[in-house]
Structure 1
Amino acid sequence: MAAGAILFCVGATKAGTSWLYRYLHDHPECRLRSIKELHFFDTVDANDYDFQFETWARLRRDLERRLDGAEGWRRGNLQRQIADLDEMTAVLELARGGNMDAAVAAYRAYLAGRPGDDKLVADITPGYALLSQARLSMMAGLSGAVRVLYLMRDPVERLWSHVRMQAARQQREGEDLALKSRRILNRVVKRGLEAHIPARGDYRSTIERLTAAVPAGQLMIDFSERLLTEDGLRRLCGFLGIGYRPADTSAREHEGVRLVIEPGQKLQAQDFLAPQYAYVAQNFGPLPERWQANWMGA
């Protein structure tokens, strides 16, 4: 692949994208900025600039707090993250001002960072899985060297991981995390609430938009359970046009607190997610073992 290639990893949420970011960030042929999720295209589409700017402002305040007293490489790393936040904020300011051509050019320059011979730059934002077909097509059309990756994790495990993450974010002082997680899961699978959580694992909807928007040679759809293996990483590196590097695929980023889903709720989640299992089995089977163990129709 020619220098300047761009990878868009569009999800799914809680399907190994943080591990992938770290792998590519440390790869000598890649250049990834210190912010994993850039939220450029989804912020533009939703016209949700105030939310994104406030999110980054909170992160910047946290980084500044941690910078006080930091030394050595830690201090340099924090300073780099702050600088990257400021630069990406300026990119989004261009977009909010209505100059999209300039904003896209600035976004691409941000990805590149500095002139060099890196084979790949990347934006790993799972929120892009919710983008329209038209926006995904526009992203794929930025150049023939664009590559789009979508990872699928066992639906029940992905849902429970996402629920636990949501519970941890909403947890108040004194609240029991396990109880809060069970309540959120109940709202999802029994009451149809918290719609943003299952939407991030709606494989059928996302894949149908991706396959309609992205040329087949630029798109890779895979199971995270298979990608995060030696054979899977070799396939990925071949797709991206970079050399294979071994890695510890047993390590997990942002796994969160380990809580076991209760048997009754697991059955409800399996029933709720049965259409996702069936769709993936029909179009991408055979399913990995962990999927088969959780699919009631297996």
Structure 2
Amino acid sequence: MPARWRPRPCPVLFRNLRRGGRQPVPPAQGDRGRAARPRPRRDRTPSRGLSVALAIARGPCAGGGPGMTRENVADILCIGAQRAMTTWLHQCLSAHPGVWSFPNFHPITAHTKEAHYWDWNHHRGPDWYRVTMRPLVAGKKSVDITPEYAFLNEAQLTECKHLNPGARVIYILRDPLARAVSGLRMHTVWATKHAAADEARLDYDQHFLARCKNARLWDHGAYARNIARWKRHYPDMLILNYEDLRADPLAGLRLVLDHCGLSWDALSGSLRETLAERAGRRVWETPAYPLSRDCLDFLHGAMWPMREALEKDTGITFTEGEAILRAREESPA
């Protein structure tokens, strides 16, 4: 590897290292259980798209030239929650003329939506992140929608603030029980290679518990704790209720656009129609794999304290999980 492309540590982390501190390690991923989207290995041969980005990085921009002078690496950060309309948000934002989605470097990134810098790609260095996210059209805002960022630790958030000091942060919250059920179904899709809804079932056993761990249900559902950490660095982050978005997606999208400094009123009629059409889409609904009553009882007990903590801290309430519990009471044990 040429010396000039050796990943350089972020200045904030470099100062910590000089003081004898350790560079923060991203949260352990374990077996992600993603048959359709495995975690990249460091020695994976770069895709053609990634090779293009590396070639760009070896040019003048890699040394801190004009391409590296943007205020933020990512102008818009959506940190989840997973299974809370983040793909819907990406599709809507991508249709706005003021937004740039980075090229598809799958499996280095999760297509054009999730850069996964702090959990999959931190070893590539901040210049890689800058090049990957940088819009190739002037005046556009870059967007990184990676739900795993919700549980970055304090050291990682300090680095995030250094790289993205003026980023607009969005956090969509879904009923913790409903989100957990949906997350487990998503992992079941990957584990079964897209089995139909009647071809798989979740029962309370060692496989179910392992899937709960792989899905990081407790990290994704710890909304109050995640909000507290992120607000220390981004106090003006936008928090949305998934149920409100489902009820009026266009109104929710306009809130996001306003938060991100993206115009709605200045758009042409055809662009407004395009955004309204995308806002009305239902994106990637997982098969409704049945869960045994024991599974639901376990998830309810695990997620309820997180729901109460969020309501106490923010006043946000949900109803989606109540429908799941009513269905549980009506079904055989």
Shared fold, TM over 0.5: yes
Name the count of aligned residue pairs: 235
Alpha-carbon distance in structure 2 between the residues aligned to 1:3 and 1:139: 12
Offset at residue 163 of structure 1 (A) = 0.7
Alpha-carbon distance in structure 2 between the residues aligned to 1:206 and 1:168: 27
What's 1:70 paired with? none
Alpha-carbon distance in structure 1 between the residues aligned to 2:325 and 2:229: 24
Superposed CA offset, 1:92-147 (max 9, x none): 3xx3xxxxxxxx234223212314121x2111111212321221232133344311
What's 1:31 paired with? 100
Matched, 1:277 2:307: yes
Q: Percentage identity across aligned positions?
A: 24
Classify 1:257/1:183 alpha carbon distance in 2 versus 1 (closer, same or farther; 3 Å): farther
Which runs of 5 or more residues in structure 1 are unaligned? 48-91, 96-103
Of 240, 258, 267, the residue aligned with 1:222 is 240
Offset at residue 20 of structure 1 (A) = 0.9
One-letter code of the match for 1:37? Answer: E
Offset at residue 180 of structure 1 (A) = 4.3
Q: TM-score, normalised on structure 2?
A: 0.61
Of 64, 77, 80, the residue aligned with 1:8 is 77
What's 1:113 paired with? 135
What's 1:149 paired with? 170
Please tell me whether the aligned partners of residues 164 and 181 of structure 1 are also in contact (alpha carbons under 8 angstroms).
no
Of 275, 285, 298, the residue aligned with 1:268 is 298
Superposed CA offset, 1:50-102 (max 9, x none): xxxxxxxxxxxxxxxxxxxxxxxxxxxxxxxxxxxxxxxxxx3xx3xxxxxxx
SS of residue matched to 2:163:
coil
Q: How does 1:89-104 map to 2 (within 5 A)?
A: 92=124, 95=125, 104=126
User: 4+ residue runs of structure 1 moved beyond 6 angstroms?
Assistant: 2-5, 172-176
Superposed CA offset, 1:273-295 (max 9, x none): 11111011112224143256568
Of 124, 134, 148, the residue aligned with 1:127 is 148
Alpha-carbon distance in structure 1 between the residues aligned to 2:280 and 2:180: 20
Matched, 1:42 2:119: yes
Alpha-carbon distance in structure 2 between the residues aligned to 1:232 and 1:253: 16
Alpha-carbon distance in structure 1 between the residues aligned to 2:194 and 2:241: 37
Offset at residue 182 of structure 1 (A) = 5.8
What's 1:63 paired with? none
Q: How does 1:113-262 map to 2 (within 5 A)?
A: 113-118=135-140, 120-171=141-192, 177-180=199-202, 183=205, 186-187=208-209, 193-194=213-214, 196-212=216-232, 214-217=233-236, 219-228=237-246, 229-244=249-264, 245-262=275-292
Alpha-carbon distance in structure 1 between the residues aligned to 2:194 and 2:98: 44
RMSD between superposed Cα atoms in Å: 3.3
Alpha-carbon distance in structure 2 between the residues aligned to 1:249 and 1:264: 36
Classify 1:172/1:44 alpha carbon distance in 2 versus 1 (closer, same or farther; 3 Å): closer
SS of residue matched to 2:255:
helix
One-letter code of the match for 2:167? Answer: V
Alpha-carbon distance in structure 2 between the residues aligned to 1:204 and 1:114: 37
Task: Report the more deviating stretch, 2-11 or 180-189.
Answer: 180-189
Classify 1:177/1:152 alpha carbon distance in 2 versus 1 (closer, same or farther; 3 Å): farther
Offset at residue 272 of structure 1 (A) = 1.7
Please tell me whether the aligned partners of residues 175 and 319 of structure 2 are also in contact (alpha carbons under 8 angstroms).
no
The structure number with the bigger radius of gyration is 2
Q: TM-score, normalised on structure 1?
A: 0.67
Superposed CA offset, 1:179-201 (max 9, x none): 24765784279xx7546233222
Of 17, 28, 33, the residue aligned with 2:86 is 17
Classify 1:183/1:109 alpha carbon distance in 2 versus 1 (closer, same or farther; 3 Å): same
Classify 1:222/1:187 alpha carbon distance in 2 versus 1 (closer, same or farther; 3 Å): same
Which runs of 5 or more residues in structure 2 are unaligned? 1-69, 105-111, 265-274, 327-333
One-letter code of the match for 2:259? Answer: F
Alpha-carbon distance in structure 2 between the residues aligned to 1:108 and 1:281: 37
Alpha-carbon distance in structure 1 between the residues aligned to 2:81 and 2:195: 31
